[in-house]
Amino acid sequence: MRIAAFAVTLAVTLAAVLGLAALAVVAAPGSVRAQPLAVAEVGSFHVGGRAVSLTGLPTRDVVFTAGSAPIKVDPNGDFEVEQMYVQYVKLASPRARYPLLLWHGGGLTGVTWETKPDGQAGWQLYFLRAGHDVYVSDAVERGRASWARYPEITTSEPLFRTKKQAWEDFRIGPVGSYKLNPAERVALPGQLFPIEAFDQFFKQGVPRWATTDVAIQAAYNQLVQKVCPCVIVVHSQGGNFGFNAALTAPDKVKAVIAIEPSGAPKPEAAAGGRLKGVPHLVVWGDFVAQSALWQRFVPASQHYAAALRAEGGVADWWDLPKMGVAGNTHMLMMDKNSDQVAQMIQKWMGERGLMR
Amino acid sequence: MRIAAFAVTLAVTLAAVLGLAALAVVAAPGSVRAQPLAVAEVGSFHVGGRAVSLTGLPTRDVVFTAGSAPIKVDPNGDFEVEQMYVQYVKLASPRARYPLLLWHGGGLTGVTWETKPDGQAGWQLYFLRAGHDVYVSDAVERGRASWARYPEITTSEPLFRTKKQAWEDFRIGPVGSYKLNPAERVALPGQLFPIEAFDQFFKQGVPRWATTDVAIQAAYNQLVQKVCPCVIVVHSQGGNFGFNAALTAPDKVKAVIAIEPSGAPKPEAAAGGRLKGVPHLVVWGDFVAQSALWQRFVPASQHYAAALRAEGGVADWWDLPKMGVAGNTHMLMMDKNSDQVAQMIQKWMGERGLMR
């Protein structure tokens, strides 16, 4: 009896330490989430950027509280700018061959991957449970990457997305359907974003700049040099950065999974078949055909994917509704069926030889 | 032989799953860090804040790229502002009675706790290994909490800390010792900040505002209502927010550990002994007596701690050099002996009945 009990304890314990990840894909998400994850390390770092000194600018008198005496603000000094922020969770025994890098879209941060606005666990945890080391990052000028004084360092001013823009541009509701009062907002029929949590989602938003692409790409390229070989999952504005990161380091980037990329390199960039060994997957949700905005954005990645294939590479194109998966908005990692989409992506990675 | 090998495996494995935290305090950090951590969940959320609408403001023509046509920027719309960001790692079997909330100081974010600029693991991982669920947050207007348009919403403008300010105000080098060239910077003799990584540390900095204290406190108080009972570890500018959070919810905050708090409530706030059941610990590093800046900041928490004691409460006061621990700067969670200080704090929590 005691020996049997010991054996069971040993088996359960070993499973907890070594075998957990193996269970993640076969078991239902609910049951998987109740099981502990064997984590080797959590931590973060900043990468990229440059030192900048401001000199000779006039000091200004600034009144910080109405009625109080002005305080001199001196904008001069030495700073670090254009770095990016990266946070990682490393597993004790990853089943994936390479770490998974999750890159967010415009006006957002790595929070995109960490949580869903209705409180469900994000894709970060999904892919950890599926056996990947996961790196979640904030690109230059947002979130924990920080931002620089403008117009002295960043040459333009920040842009703040409105709720109306997010509601309509992200294909949650049709153009003109946004209202301040949540009860009056009319969503697209069949859409799967958790609209009851739309204002909560909006708290994840951060200002963005229109003039920082070069700095953002430079930091991403440095990240790739630091932590790859890797697989990159990238969303929206990030699509272009992910495609370019692979073009810059085709030896380090083992796959690119672009979720609704808002742009892509010119097809000529694929010339010479240098990305032949780097499978690409492009994923699109629902209601794209009805959206003038997205009809403008889709062709770039379409032409780029075609060029990758013409050069002998793999560039899979998923139009989810055509695959029987309806209702996805632009924020498909937060939609009510988002774990189903994650599972499809996980399966693709397995088929592409990216799991051990 | 095989039975012996099995017994060793069993012991090691059980230790890994169940007994790790128990080893964390006694074993050397290096050996502990090689062992996996049994994690139940990682995730994040935003809490607090309010909806704001801007209306009637004029649109402006903004040129984003030199030479390109101006683009109309419309500042009007509906936004969410003054929320804060919170990230958590929950253990499968926490040994601490309550989650540990790590609150950063001014001009910084939760990154303070996640990493050290020389690449060593931060206190987040230390306290996870010691058996705590850990919540790392970004206060209102910084990091992943985002920030709001000014002066239309936040009434003042952001302040950007310079390297000189950080080098001198954080007691890494004496006043006047900062130079742009790292090789020319002269640190305080015996100080323990990893100065070779000072510019890397600086990448963690974010702008701050001087007019957001009320909003910051409101969000922290909502965080306490959401996730506590808890223990709060707070640094620098955060000190005041931590002390006030305990005053606001003495039933929910089970202890406050203030690392070099730059302020504190007035002693009268402790009247009536309402914090009698909430032990406080205030920790100060080295070189405080030689710093005019910190000589101005220390008395507030000194008087507050004395008032807590006078009302029958616990308010321990650690002057680390007097306890034989020399060399700590203001960023003592990043100093080369930072894990030694973490260990002392962990021991204090045990003695105060905060571990199971």
Residue B52 phi/psi, 5-degree rounding, is -135, 140
Query: Percent of chain B scored above 70 by pLDDT?
Result: 90
A109 pLDDT higher than 60: yes
Closest CA of chain A from B274, distance in Å? 32
Quickly state the pLDDT bin for B34 (edges 50, 70, 90). Answer: low
- Compute the distance between CA of residue B137 and CA of residue B84 in angstroms, rounded to an integer: 7
Closest CA of chain B from A263, distance in Å? 19
For residue B334, which of B201, B243, B218, B234 has the smallest C-alpha distance?
B201
**Please, which residues bridge with residue B88 across strands?**
B43, B135
| DSSP state string for B213-268 | HHHHHHHHHHHHHHH-SEEEEEETTHHHHHHHHHHH-TTTEEEEEEES-S----GG
Task: Please state the pTM of the whole predicted model.
Answer: 0.91
Q: Could you identify the residue written with the tokens 């951590």?
A: B37
- Compute the distance between CA of residue A236 and CA of residue B214 in angstroms, rounded to an integer: 35
What are B19's two structure tokens? Answer: 């007994």
Quickly state the pLDDT bin for B10 (edges 50, 70, 90). Answer: very low
pLDDT at A63: 76
What are A66's two structure tokens? Answer: 């109405």
| DSSP state string for B278-294 | S-EEEEE-SS-TT-HHH
* Cα angle for residues B279, B284, B287 (degrees, 5° grid): 170
pLDDT single digits (tens) A161-196: 999 999 999 999 999 999 999 999 999 999 999 999
A312 pLDDT higher than 90: yes
Interface-testing mutation among A42, A64, A128, A150, with chain B (most B C-beta atoms within 10 A)? A42
Q: Is B316 helix (H, G, I), strand (E, B) or coil?
A: strand
**Across the interface, do B199 and A80 touch by the CB < 8 Å criterion?**
yes
Which of B43, B138, B211 lies at the smallest CB-CB distance from A115? Answer: B43
A354 pLDDT higher than 60: yes
- More confidently predicted of B31 and B99: B99
Chain A residues touching B110 at Cβ < 8 A: 144
Nearest residue on chain B to A180, alpha-carbon basis: B78
Interface-testing mutation among B144, B334, B338, with chain A (most A C-beta atoms within 10 A)? B144
What are A149's two structure tokens? Answer: 């004084």
pLDDT single digits (tens) A33-47: 468 999 999 999 999
What are A69's two structure tokens? Answer: 């005496």
Closest CA of chain A from B312, distance in Å? 37
Task: Yes or no: say if B239 and B164 are a contact pair by the CB < 8 Å rule.
Answer: no
Nearest residue on chain B to A86, alpha-carbon basis: B111
pLDDT at A7: 40
B277 pLDDT higher than 50: yes
Name which of A88-102, A274-288, B61-75 the model is least confident about. B61-75
Name which of A262-266, B11-15, B248-252 the model is least confident about. B11-15
For residue B198, which of B161, B145, B237, B144 has the smallest C-alpha distance?
B161
Q: Could you identify the residue written with the tokens 């109309």?
A: B72
What are B248's two structure tokens? Answer: 């606001």
Chain A residues touching B163 at Cβ < 8 A: 77-80
Q: Could you identify the residue written with the tokens 């401001």?
A: A54
Nearest residue on chain A to B50, alpha-carbon basis: A203
What number of CA atoms fall less than 13 Å from residue A121's CA on the CB side?
20
Chain B residues touching A45 at Cβ < 8 A: 115, 119
pLDDT at A60: 86
Chain A residues touching B149 at Cβ < 8 A: 160, 207
pLDDT at A117: 97
What number of CA atoms fall less than 13 Å from residue B248's CA on the CB side?
17
Q: Which residues of A175-208 are buried (b: 16+ CB within 10 A; e: fewer)?
A: eeebeeeeeebebbeebbbbbebbbbbbbbbbbb
Give chain A's length. Answer: 356
Quickly state the pLDDT bin for B63 (edges 50, 70, 90). Answer: confident
Query: Percent of chain A scored above 70 by pLDDT?
Result: 90
Average pLDDT, chain B: 91
Query: Percent of chain B scored above 90 by pLDDT?
Result: 86
